Amino acid sequence: MPALAIWSPEDGVLGAVAPLGLAAASGTALVVDLDPHGPNYPGAGTLAALVADGPRRSDLRPVRKGVAVLANGGIEPEDAEAVLDAIVAGWPAVVLRLPASHDGHTGAIPVLPLVPGDLFRQYEPPAVYQRSGWRVEPPRGAIVLPRPRRATIGMLLAGAAPPPRDRWVAAWRRLWEQS
């Protein structure tokens, strides 16, 4: 099943919301936070608990359509490899959220703010750039996301699904199509 790893080295909020948008664009997906110091995503389960207790069959495939989120719980990714392999094998789509400190050399896709100047390092495609209030030309070949509606971000962070035709979520589909 498809799994995409993303990280946002420059923007913590984008790093927390981007995996949710990417997962919502696939229809049914699981977001797995691989950052031991990652956001406090809502939900009862964590990757650390799955590793400690062993996953149940219901943990390894979707119970219903939509996006599910598995917070990290303080475990290093290398300590969860067997569980991660089982999750990826059972879910139709998996988004792996990497920490901002990730080195970017493992095929992970960076998600970056599109801002003027040369403040941030440039990445090769398929980098994803988030439009902001400035009119800035994106790097050639980059996937560029429109500015999200406040309601979209609020819904995603609260664990609700944005409307099916949301422009920001729809823009993420291009990344699934390219993978």
pLDDT per residue as tens digits for the range 92-107: 999 999 999 998 778 8
For position 124, what pLDDT does the model report? 78
The pLDDT of residue 152 is above 70: yes
Q: What is the mean pLDDT of residues 55-59?
A: 91
How high is the pLDDT of residue 49? 96
Asked if residue 62 has a cis previous peptide bond (ω within 30° of 0), the answer is: no
pLDDT at 70: 96
Q: What is the mean pLDDT of residues 55-66?
A: 92
Cβ atoms within 10 Å of 84's Cβ, excluding its own: 21
